[in-house]
Amino acid sequence: MTPWPRTEPTAAHRAAYADARPRSFWLDEDLGGVTRPDPAPALVGEATTDLCIVGGGFTGLWAALHAKRDDPARDVVLLEGETCGFGGSGRNGGFCVASLTHGLHNGAARFADELATLERLGLQNHADLCADLEHHGIDCELEHTGELDVVLDPDRADWPAEDAELLRAHGHDVVVLDRDAAREHLNSPVVHGALWDRTGASLVHPGKLALGLRAAVLAAGVRVHEHTAVAELRETPDGIDAVCPQGRVHARGVVLGTNAFRPLVREIRRYVVPVYDYVLMTEPLTPEQRASIGWAGRQGMGDDQNQFHYFRLTADDRILWGGYDAVYRFGGPVGPEWDESDEVFARLSQQFFTAFPQLDGVRFSHRWGGAIDTCSRFSVFFGQTHGGRVTYAAGYTGLGVAATRFGARVALDLLDGRDTEATRLRYVREKPTPFPPEPLRAVGIAITRNRLAAEDRTGKRGRWLRTLDRLGLGFDS
């Protein structure tokens, strides 16, 4: 059962974040430790290129880097509506996890026949990502800490041992911790056990990663245009036109990495819903506060609930505390007006001080929100349109820091017609179950959120959730 209070947050909970900066810590030049370059010039007029990439987040940046590595002579143009890393790539928790399937259980449920291959490809992708960081000199505060999943419900204290068996079967180095051992790693009254996976799980500063990839892409000769939103794609006899407010790019092929933002390809709308996730970041802890919570291993952490939190330490010993609520609004709007939610921030603050009562008095320096490109299978999917001249990767569902590198590689291989081990997988060839249209979409998501919360309270998975399981539909933060 969930340990979180069902009472209303107090004035003190709200006061803790009242003065927080309403922006992502990772992209804050003053406090986040990142130096933002001047924006690349917006596109004005017409341009012609071999490859046009739409989206300057992780998927688009990795696709550009892969393309130039494959063929340095290939001309590549990258178009970004804001600045590189502005979207989910600069707003996430910085959990760089090898899994391509949103965890082994989800992978086993949906791709049991391919799980061994997907695990191997995911671990190789994680290792190659780390090698790329070194090769390009990208300092993004990479830490190989492993990931600690903590038990909040004492009635579920046996699940770490069950999960450990599956993880070990796939070559993971894991440690099962009972309540006392878990609290030695994280001194919190809500912790009743934990599972520490020490394979393929790292932490990064996502803002520094995005800007480091941007620098590497520019150094490779990619033409980058920021503040250049693409309004539509038009098929021409010999390629695709990406139409922008002040011009257009004519390309032989296009890779889309727009994810939660408005899709340029209609079919993506059936499979992706933009779900808002919110985050609080504390001020740096004092040495005494830091010692009071333990956490010597600095692992990235999550909990065992449907409405789960993710939390981690930064290089300067702040605590990032995010998740729990996954907010979908009718019609799936995405924009800066949705980046704040006092209701969610208040609940996150209340839950933070429930988890860490010894940190009473700590204030939050940053608060922010962002849209996650959620799909029903919780992992990236792929597609091709316009006679194969446009490919896309979308639907990472909040676990894309490492998976975007793999997604970009596959999208580029599909565009170029490469036959690879990855492109032959059912995981790549099949789409997730589509979400229904509005208003059924909003109603279904609201009911699902309600039933997930009920399961967290009671420990019982009701008929609605069991039905969705059978249909292959899901909703997650």
What is the per-residue pLDDT across 213-267, written as a single tens digit (0 to 9) for each? Answer: 999 999 999 999 999 999 999 999 999 999 999 999 999 999 999 999 999 999 9
User: Which backbone phi and psi does 128 adopt, to 5 degrees?
Assistant: -70, -35
Same domain assignment for residues 107 and 253: yes
Spatial contact of 92 and 222, defined as CB atoms under 8 Å apart: no
Q: pTM for the full model?
A: 0.96
What is the per-residue pLDDT across 443-465, written as a single tens digit (0 to 9) for each? Answer: 988 888 888 777 778 778 888 87
pLDDT at 306: 86
Same domain assignment for residues 280 and 354: yes
Look up residue 309 and give its amino acid: H
Which percentage of the chain shows pLDDT scores above 70? Answer: 99
pLDDT at 474: 62
Same domain assignment for residues 370 and 457: no
For residue 47 the two structure tokens come to 């341009």
Q: Is residue 138 part of a domain?
A: no
Same domain assignment for residues 74 and 222: yes
Which percentage of the chain shows pLDDT scores above 90? Answer: 86
pLDDT at 403: 98
For residue 19 the two structure tokens come to 């003065």
Spatial contact of 230 and 82, defined as CB atoms under 8 Å apart: no
What one-character DSSP code corresponds to residue 388? Answer: G
Q: Is residue 242 part of a domain?
A: yes
Same domain assignment for residues 288 and 365: yes
For residue 199 the two structure tokens come to 């394979």
Q: Which of 398, 426, 421 is nearest to 409 (CA)?
A: 421
∠ Cα 64 107 441 (to 5°): 80
Spatial contact of 59 and 262, defined as CB atoms under 8 Å apart: no
Can you tell me the mean pLDDT for 257-283? 95
Same domain assignment for residues 240 and 368: no
For residue 162 the two structure tokens come to 């069950």
pLDDT at 461: 86
Same domain assignment for residues 256 and 385: yes
pLDDT at 475: 57
Look up residue 434 and give its amino acid: P
Same domain assignment for residues 106 and 53: yes
Per the structure, the complete domain to which residue 287 belongs is given by: 11-33+147-199+273-374
Residue 468 to residue 477: CA distance in whole angstroms = 16
Sign of CA dihedral 427, 374, 27, 303: negative
pLDDT at 158: 87
* CA-based R_g, the chain, Å: 22
Residue 81 to residue 363: CA distance in whole angstroms = 33
Give, rounded to a whole angstrom, the gap between the first and last alpha carbons of the chain. Answer: 19
Q: What is the dihedral of CA 471, 472, 475, 477, to 10 degrees?
A: 160
Same domain assignment for residues 193 and 241: no
pLDDT at 376: 93
Q: Quick one: pLDDT band at residue 34, thresholds 50, 70, 90?
A: confident
pLDDT higher at 277 or 29: 277
Q: Is the pLDDT of residue 470 over 80?
A: no
pLDDT at 477: 45
Same domain assignment for residues 225 and 102: yes
Same domain assignment for residues 329 and 455: no
Q: Is residue 40 part of a domain?
A: no
What is the per-residue pLDDT across 335-356, written as a single tens digit (0 to 9) for each? Answer: 999 999 999 999 999 999 999 9
Sign of CA dihedral 436, 440, 442, 444: negative
Q: Is the pLDDT of residue 79 over 90?
A: yes
Helices marked H in 220-272: 268-271
Helix (H) or strand (E) holding 322: strand 319-323
Q: Which residues make Cβ contacts (< 8 Å) with residue 149, sequence separation at least 6?
A: 160, 163, 194, 195, 197, 301, 302, 303, 304
Q: Which residues make Cβ contacts (< 8 Å) with residue 57, sequence separation at least 6?
A: 84, 85, 86, 87, 88, 89, 90, 210, 257, 259, 404
Can you tell me the mean pLDDT for 373-388? 96
Same domain assignment for residues 103 and 67: yes
Spatial contact of 377 and 433, defined as CB atoms under 8 Å apart: yes
User: Which backbone phi and psi does 274 adopt, to 5 degrees?
Assistant: -80, 115
Sign of CA dihedral 341, 343, 344, 349: positive
pLDDT at 33: 86
